[in-house]
Amino acid sequence: MATCACNMVFFTTNYYTRVCSGCGVEIWGGLQPEYDYTFRSLPIPYSRTCRFKDLVRKLLGLEVGPKTTDPVWGILEEHSPYNNTDDILRVLKRSKLTNKFYCSLHVFSKLFLKEYAAPPFSPCELAQLQTVLLKWFEETLLLWNQCGMTGFFSYSWLIEKFLECLAVTAFSPYLKRLMCPNRRDKYVSKWKKITRTSDEASADLPHARHGTPLTALGIS
């Protein structure tokens, strides 16, 4: 191992330099042979589960908002404070932003509402709620794949349905609901098809991976 003039050893950093453990002098260390600097990582494929989890965490207030350099912050701050989440949505809709970050409505509310009251859930309860929502989504995705149907559900529609089945209303103000009646009717019809609730007994429904059929969980 190479040593410094003060007879102390060098430590290699992760940014291609070497630092003396004695006097602290730092010198260029060169590229390390154990790394392949020409390697290009494969693109990460789109994951419905990861996307749903990201939306759920933002809805529950477990994620931060957009980058601090995004213009959405300036637009919201210009018109703040707001009386309710509808006022925030109205400003976002009228803006000319390409990405309006509707999914970050909860964190926007924390920062820009005149009176923000956190939902009455402990960190443990939030984690449990997230787990349940993700399990239900995975089961829904499994049923959809088994049916071979084209066109998936709206994520916001699924979140709304799951929370309704759980009788959880505290997060409703931070969810941008799907408003189009035609699309809502389409998803209701699609839901009945994948769960077979229109013409078969609930006992015959496919079971969730943790052993409970969706209808027994209150989803029908």
Residue 157 domain-assigned?
A: yes
Domain residue limits at 66 = 46-220
Residue 89 domain-assigned?
A: yes
Give the Cα separation of 173 and 56 in Å (integer).
14
> 21 and 57 share a domain?
no
- Which segment of 26-30, 133-137, 154-158, 212-216 scores lowest on mean pLDDT? 212-216
> 8 and 51 share a domain?
no
| Structure token pair of residue 160 | 């709304």
Residue 40 domain-assigned?
A: no
pLDDT attached to residue 219? 45
Question: What is the per-residue pLDDT across 2-17, written as a single tens digit (0 to 9) for each?
Answer: 666 676 666 677 666 7
Question: What is the per-residue pLDDT across 46-61, written as a single tens digit (0 to 9) for each?
Answer: 889 999 999 999 999 9
pLDDT higher than 90, residue 30: no
> 26 and 66 share a domain?
no
> 144 and 98 share a domain?
yes
Mean per-residue pLDDT of the chain: 81
139 Cβ neighbours under 8 A, 6+ residues apart: 206, 208, 209, 214
Residue 39 domain-assigned?
A: no
Residue 37 domain-assigned?
A: no
> 65 and 20 share a domain?
no
> 83 and 8 share a domain?
no
Residue 41 domain-assigned?
A: no
Indicate the number of domains in the chain.
Answer: 2
Local structure of residue 39 (DSSP, 8 states) = -
148 CB burial (10 A radius; 0-12, 13-18, 19+):
exposed
pLDDT higher than 60, residue 35: no
Residue 112 domain-assigned?
A: yes
Residue among 76, 90, 102 at smallest CA distance from 154: 102
Number of H helices, E strands in the chain: 7, 3
> 8 and 88 share a domain?
no
**Contact status, residue 106 vs residue 60, Cβ threshold 8 Å:** yes
Residue 109 domain-assigned?
A: yes
pLDDT higher than 50, residue 204: no
